[in-house]
Amino acid sequence: MQLDRDEDILRAAEAWRKAGRGVALATVVETWGSAPRPAGSSLVINDEGTFLGSVSGGCVEGAVVTEALDVIDSGTPKLLEFGVADEAAWKVGLSCGGTIRVFVEKVD
Amino acid sequence: MKFEILQQLNAERAARRPAIVVTDTATGAQRLVKAADIAADPLAAELDKQLRMGKSATVDAGGQKLFLNVYAPTAKLVIVGAVHISQALAPLARSLGYDVTVVDPRTAFASPERFPDVPLIAEWPDVALPPLNIDHYTAFVALTHDPKIDDPALLHAFARDCFYIGALGSKKTHAKRLERLKGQGASDADLGRIHAPIGLAIGAVSPSEIAVSIMAEITAALRLPASSKAAAA
C-alpha cells in the first residue's frame, strides 16, 4: 500500500492519448545515493512538449523531455542514466550526489 | 506502455484496487498484474513484498531486470469519536500520509476548533459512513466509548473489510461489546478482527502516546506479512 500524493499524471496521459496526441512516459526505475525522487516517480509528456510530474525534482527534467520527444517519434523505449558526482551535485541541484536510471517509453 | 495497459491501470486506480506494472527495462516488454492475480503469478513473492511496502523497485528475476511499479491506493483512516485521543491521532495519521476523516454525531465534540484541517462529519454512523466508501485500504477506529455510536460503526467496518479495526475500551468493556455485536449478527471471524484494547502495549498514558500506540499497530497491520502478524499476536 502506497501513501502517494502525486498528481494523477497517468490520467493526463490517457486523456492526451485519447485526444490523438503523441505521449511518452518517463519513470525512475533505479536509484543510488541520495536520489531526489524515489523509484516509481514519473513524468508524462506529449508531443507539444507539455509535461506533468517529476523524476528528479528539476535537475534532469530538461534532458528527459528531449529524450522523450525522441521516443515519441521512434517508438523505441530508452533507458537513461543520470549520475552526478558529489562536487558537481550542487550545480545541477542534486543536493548531495546520486544516480538515477529513467525508463522512457511511448504510450501506444 | 500499451494504451490498453494504461487504461486498465487507471481503471484499477480509480476503483482503489492496487496494481503492479512489470517492465523488462531492457526490451520494454510489459504486463499489468492486478492485486487479485498476484498469488498465482510467477513473481508472487516479490510482488507481494513490494505491494506491502508500497515501494516500486527493480528486481532480478533469473538474470532479467524487471521493474515493478507499484500503484496502491492512499490509505484512509476513519476515526469514529471526536474525542481527546482523536485530536492527537488525526494529525499524526495525516503526517504518515493517511486520508483522515473524523465522525461523531455529537456536535459539541465534532467542532472545527477541536479538529482544524481534518474533514469532520457531525452525523450518526448510518448517515456518515456509507458515503466515505470505506474499503480494504481503510483503517477504522471506534473511540467514543458509546455503544450507540461505536457498535453500528464497527458493523459497517466489518462489512467493508477494513485492513485494521480497533476499538477503545478495557477488556471488560470489550467483552460486553462482543456480546452486543454478536447479538446484532457479527460473526466470530468479524469479532476476532477487532484490536481491543486498542494499540500496541507500550505503556501509553497520555492521549498523544495512545495515538502513537494506535498508529504503530495500524502500521504493523499495513506493512507486515500475514505470517509475522500471526506470530506477533
Do B56 and A40 make contact, defined as CB atoms within 8 angstroms?
yes
pLDDT of A86 > 60? The answer is: no
User: Please, is B69 exposed, middle or buried when counting C-beta atoms within 10 Å of its C-beta (0-12, 13-18, 19+)?
Assistant: buried
Instruction: Please tell me the distance in Å from B170's CA to the nearest CA on chain A.
Output: 31
Tell which residue, B57, B25, B223, has the closest CA to residue A38. Answer: B57
| A99 has a chain B CB within 8 A of its CB | no
Q: Strand, helix or coil at B101?
A: strand
Q: pLDDT confidence of A35, banded at 50, 70, 90?
A: confident
Closest CA to A9 of A45, A39, A38: A45
Q: Which residues from chain A sit within 8 angstroms of residue B23, using beta carbons?
A: 29, 103, 105
* Contact indicator for B51, A1 with CB cutoff of 8 Å: yes
pLDDT one digit per residue (tens) for chain B, 233 residues: 999 999 999 999 999 999 999 999 999 999 999 999 999 999 999 999 999 999 999 999 888 999 999 999 999 999 999 999 999 999 999 999 999 999 999 999 999 999 998 999 999 999 999 999 999 999 999 999 999 999 999 999 999 999 999 999 999 999 999 999 999 999 999 999 999 999 999 999 999 999 999 999 999 999 998 766 654 54
Residue A89, pLDDT above cutoff 60:
no
Q: Which residues of A touch B6 (CB under 8 A)?
A: 10, 13-14, 17, 107
Exposed, middle or buried by CB within 10 Å (0-12, 13-18, 19+), for B163? Answer: middle
pLDDT band at A70 (very low <50, low <70, confident <90, very high): very high
Is B6 close to A107, i.e. CB distance below 8 A? yes
pLDDT, residue B225, reads: 84
Per-chain mean pLDDT for chain A: 84
Cβ-based contacts of A14 with chain B (< 8 Å): 3, 6-7, 10
Chain B interface test: which of A3, A25, A42, A76 (most B C-beta within 10 Å):
A3
Give pLDDT, residue A88.
Answer: 55
Q: How many C-beta atoms surround the C-beta of residue B162 within 10 A?
A: 24
Percent of chain A's residues with pLDDT above 70: 81
Question: Mean pLDDT over residues A60-83, rounded?
Answer: 92
What is the grid cell recorded at A100? 538515477
Q: What pLDDT score does A4 carry?
A: 43
Give A7's pLDDT tier (boundaries 50, 70, 90). Answer: low
- Give Cα A78 to chain centroid, integer Å: 11
- Predicted local confidence at residue B143, as pLDDT: 97
How far is the CA of A95 from the CAs of B64, B71, B94, B140, B156, in angstroms? Answer: 32, 28, 27, 39, 48
Tally A–B CB contacts below 8 A: 86
* Residue A104, beta-bridge partner list: A26, A78
User: Are residues A1 and B98, on separate chains, in Cβ contact within 8 Å?
Assistant: no
Contact call for A40 and B70, based on CB within 8 A: yes
